[in-house]
Structure 1
Amino acid sequence: MMEKFLQWLEEKFMPPMARLAEQRHLRAVRDGVISTLPLIIIGSFFIIIAQPPIPFLAELVAPYVGDIMIPYRLTVGLMSVYAAYGMGYSLAKSYSLDGVSGGVLSLATFLMMNIPLNVDGIMEEAAGAGIEGAEAMGWVLPMGNLGGAGMFTAILSMVVAVEVLRFMKKKKITLTMPEQVPESVARSFEALFPAGVVIILTWVVRVMLGLDVNAMLMSVFAPLVDLSGNNYFGVMLPVLLITLLWAAGIHGVSVIGSVMRPAWLIMLDANVAAVADGASMSYGDGGVPYIAPEPFYQWLVWVGGSGATLALALLLVVSKSTYLKQVGKFSLVPGIFNINEPMIFGAPIVMNPILGIPFIIAPVVTTTISYFAVQLGIVNGFTVMAPWTLPAPIGAWMATGGSIAAVILVLINIAIALVIYYPFFKVYEKKMIAEEQADTATV
């Protein structure tokens, strides 16, 4: 039965998913968003400093919260700005166009979707009230749509800007410079006409027609964000798809992450913004608005990597099979740091009916337990994008703002995964021992 299912995965499910993984626009979204992760990781740590889990420390830093939060506001608070450039650069390169031009045009298109405000009048009133420096504000760009809330607009801006650049380049509607002009300067002038088109187009749409594209996109994608962030079946769906793809030999996180990561970042940004505004770390009324941004999966579900394979590595280390014992030895240390390709391709798990079943079941069970643990307020919500190579208990502690319950839940999930993997491991071990003995007998 399982072999027929894996055959169906390989023949029917795998080909379209493989094509989806290589779709240039999704690949550009993946690469562009990933390029912002170092900034998001570092910036989100300042939430812990500004909102420490220890009351004494929270009281100590309270007068300085505004200053402490500045790195967060200029990293996580501007994530869509950085992503717009990175996505535009990646998509342009995929078309063999100038990456810098694609990135700049994408960024300009995104910024044109946001109308700056002239606050001189407001500042004059503030200056009259004695607020120092208020008169120097002038034009400002509101930051509300420059963070996670603007991610879908950044993606649309990337597509519009780079496709205009590609179309005009293909039709030779560009300004060609003499050969004596340095290449970098020539490339800049080649983007002159496309820049005029995208700027005028976005100006007409956003300013002249008054269409709030960001609000429209957020209303369209709000059900997706709510479904994947707070609905049990919506939270479970990425887990099933990722493990199914891995079982068929496709990097599940690369495929599903390309589609889901913009929504996950919107959830994380909303959680962080809520805590920065004084909300509690727990999910629900008065707390963070979303259960399952990406760190939820990283620290509570993918313990040791996709499939919760740290538990399997622990079992293989003590295996009576010589081969499996060796796989366990070279997989355990990477698994502690959430790198499980040696396990997936070494055991192997790919196209292996015996290990494929617990590889899917274990994350389903741990996702269920973790979902209700966060929903019921037993474990804090997620507000920090901790580095994914941290050992899971440490990463979960950081990502939840110092929740000891999250650390305990990680250990519980490892134990549950051990129980689920164990009977399948014993069946596979027996099979491998028999093969090893047969090989020895033939020698």
Structure 2
Amino acid sequence: MNKILGFVEEKLLPPMASLSEQKHFRAIRDGIISAMPLIMIGSFFVLMVNFPIPMWTEFIAPYVPKLMLPYRVTVGMMSVYAAYGMGGSLAKSYGMDRTSGGVLSLGAFMMTIIPFAAFSENGDALGMVLPMQYLGGSGMFTAILCMIFAVEVLRLFKQKNFTIKLPEQVPDSVARSFEAILPGLFTMTIVWLICGLGGFNINEAIMKLFSPIVSIAGNSYLGVIIPVFLITLLWAAGIHGDSVIASLIRPLWLVLLDENMAAVADGRLAPNVGVEGFFDVYIWIGGSGGTLALCILFMMSKSSYMKEIGKLSVVPGIFNINEPIIFGAPIVLNPILAIPFILGPLVATTVTYFTLNAGWVLNTSVISPFAVPAPIKAFLTTGGDWKGIILVFVNIAIYFAIYYPFVKSYEKKMLAEEAENAELA
């Protein structure tokens, strides 16, 4: 294990750390996170409409179309909000105006959505309508490409001083907006030529291109086990595994979540197993590595140091915050605890995947704040499936069983060190 962690620290850690801070990946991460409050709000309305109480569902049945409107304009348009957030984040990283970057990214993305003339049932013209099919998670990959294209064009035009310059007396906000006109004109024209005049449906093409990857990520064992292994391995070597791996995979997770939420909103079962909720609810119980069980075992330790770390870590662990135990135990670069930290989630992931894949527990279709305790989160994110709560406790028992022998081994080591220090004192 020491050799593995050494290899990760020396060979894998530097490029992964650089990747996590790469401007475009960081912009994608920050932009998507900026849209999360709206996605959570939309999730709440999906849960409200589909809460599994017959009297409630009968009562709200006549109002469902209106109750689902917040979902349509939040989750159903997540790529719109993400496009703006990602563009603003990337522009800021280049030292450019954040608003201009966000607006140009959003404009480029919206140019890929071709409006069409709509008519009522009576044949009355309703005007031009934007289809919503690719405004949600299905358009996320297009939003990312448009963001990169729009902001890089803005940066190139500024570097070449090919912008409209206004006198210094003009307010900065007005001057910055005029600076974005020429790069914006170029960006929008190119996208219009491709999608509008050329009739190329870039959203459909990208979804076809990525459909095998999305399918693997959402409905295969490899699609859930690989992210878990990489995240825990990186954490054990001292790098924030979620920041690196989740930044790369989250666009896929959002596409899958969008499909699950749309299915539930239409009264169908959520089809995808490997959405982000799969990991947040059933695997990261107490945080990455499933460390809530470790916090409790530390609290029961005979070692005074481990007991104190357990007491300090258990309350944050209930709310899925585990930096105190990761760095306090420590788990980082500590083979005794790094082995169960990696092994436990792999076993829990295996059990959870085959349980959900068999249909014994409903797939997650609602996103909730990460700090919600796992049993409550399981009930909420599955739309009220009580069997999800049982699965959480099954995984907690798995974590206890896997961590226990390693904690006892570590306890012997710590007790010996404490006894030695007591003698020296």
TM band (smaller chain)? over 0.9
Aligned residue pair count:
425
**In the alignment, is the contact (CA less than 8 A) between 2:39 and 2:78 conserved in 1?**
yes
1:272 aligns to 2:254 (yes or no): no
1:18 — aligned with what? 17
2:175 — aligned with what? 186
Residue from 336, 340, 346 that aligns with 2:318: 336
1:253 — aligned with what? 242
Residue from 339, 346, 351 that aligns with 1:357: 339
The DSSP-based 3-state class of the residue aligned with 1:36 is helix
1:88 aligns to 2:87 (yes or no): yes
Q: Distance in 2 between matches of 1:377 and 1:227?
A: 18
| 1:372-398 Cα deviation digits (max 9, x unpaired) | 111111111111001110010001110
The aligned runs of 1:291-440 (5 Å cut-off) are: 291-440=273-422
| 1:149-206 Cα deviation digits (max 9, x unpaired) | 0000000010000000000000100001000000000000000101100110010000
Q: Distance in 2 between matches of 1:381 and 1:299?
A: 11
TM-superposed deviation, 1:55: 2.2
TM-superposed deviation, 1:223: 1.3
Moved more, 152-161 or 46-55: 46-55
Q: Distance in 2 between matches of 1:48 and 1:15?
A: 42
1:239 — aligned with what? 228
2:66 — aligned with what? 67
| 1:69-128 Cα deviation digits (max 9, x unpaired) | 001111000000000000000000010010000000000000000011121xx23xx246
| 1:396-419 Cα deviation digits (max 9, x unpaired) | 110000010000110110011000
1:27 aligns to 2:26 (yes or no): yes
Residue from 196, 200, 213 that aligns with 2:189: 200
| 1:19-54 Cα deviation digits (max 9, x unpaired) | 110111000000000011111111111111111212
1:53 aligns to 2:52 (yes or no): yes
The DSSP-based 3-state class of the residue aligned with 1:386 is coil
Q: Distance in 2 between matches of 1:149 and 1:162?
A: 22
Q: Which amino acid aligns with 1:96?
A: G
Q: Distance in 2 between matches of 1:45 and 1:407?
A: 19
The DSSP-based 3-state class of the residue aligned with 1:38 is helix
1:104 aligns to 2:106 (yes or no): no
1:175 aligns to 2:161 (yes or no): no
Q: Distance in 1 between matches of 2:334 and 2:320?
A: 21
Q: Which amino acid aligns with 2:301?
A: S
TM-superposed deviation, 1:268: 0.5
Q: Which amino acid aligns with 1:55?
A: P
1:225 — aligned with what? 214
Q: Which amino acid aligns with 2:204?
A: A
| 1:307-345 Cα deviation digits (max 9, x unpaired) | 000000010011111111111011000000000001101
**In the alignment, is the contact (CA less than 8 A) between 2:297 and 2:310 conserved in 1?**
yes
Q: Any runs of at least 4 consecutive aligned residues in structure 1 with deviations exceeding 3 A, and if so which?
A: none
The DSSP-based 3-state class of the residue aligned with 2:135 is coil
The DSSP-based 3-state class of the residue aligned with 1:366 is helix
TM-superposed deviation, 1:233: 1.2
| 1:207-244 Cα deviation digits (max 9, x unpaired) | 11111111111111111111111010121100000000
**In the alignment, is the contact (CA less than 8 A) between 2:355 and 2:361 conserved in 1?**
yes
Q: Distance in 1 between matches of 2:271 and 2:161?
A: 49
Q: Which amino acid aligns with 2:163?
A: T
Q: Distance in 2 between matches of 1:293 and 1:409?
A: 17
| 1:270-314 Cα deviation digits (max 9, x unpaired) | 0010111221xxxxxxx3221110011000000000000000001
Q: Distance in 2 between matches of 1:4 and 1:383?
A: 40
Q: Which amino acid aligns with 2:28?
A: V
1:284 — aligned with what? none
Q: Distance in 1 between matches of 2:199 and 2:153?
A: 22
Q: Which amino acid aligns with 1:32?
A: G
Q: Distance in 2 between matches of 1:56 and 1:368?
A: 37
**In the alignment, is the contact (CA less than 8 A) between 2:107 and 2:188 conserved in 1?**
yes
Q: Which amino acid aligns with 1:33?
A: I
- Structure 2, unaligned stretches of length 5 or more? none
Q: Distance in 1 between matches of 2:216 and 2:55?
A: 37
The DSSP-based 3-state class of the residue aligned with 1:349 is coil
The DSSP-based 3-state class of the residue aligned with 1:220 is helix
Moved more, 46-55 or 350-359: 46-55
2:114 — aligned with what? 115
RMSD value, Cα:
0.9
Q: Which amino acid aligns with 1:388?
A: F
1:131 — aligned with what? none
Q: Distance in 1 between matches of 2:3 and 2:304?
A: 29
1:4 — aligned with what? 3
TM-superposed deviation, 1:17: 0.6
**In the alignment, is the contact (CA less than 8 A) between 2:223 and 2:274 conserved in 1?**
no
Q: Distance in 1 between matches of 2:323 and 2:36?
A: 21
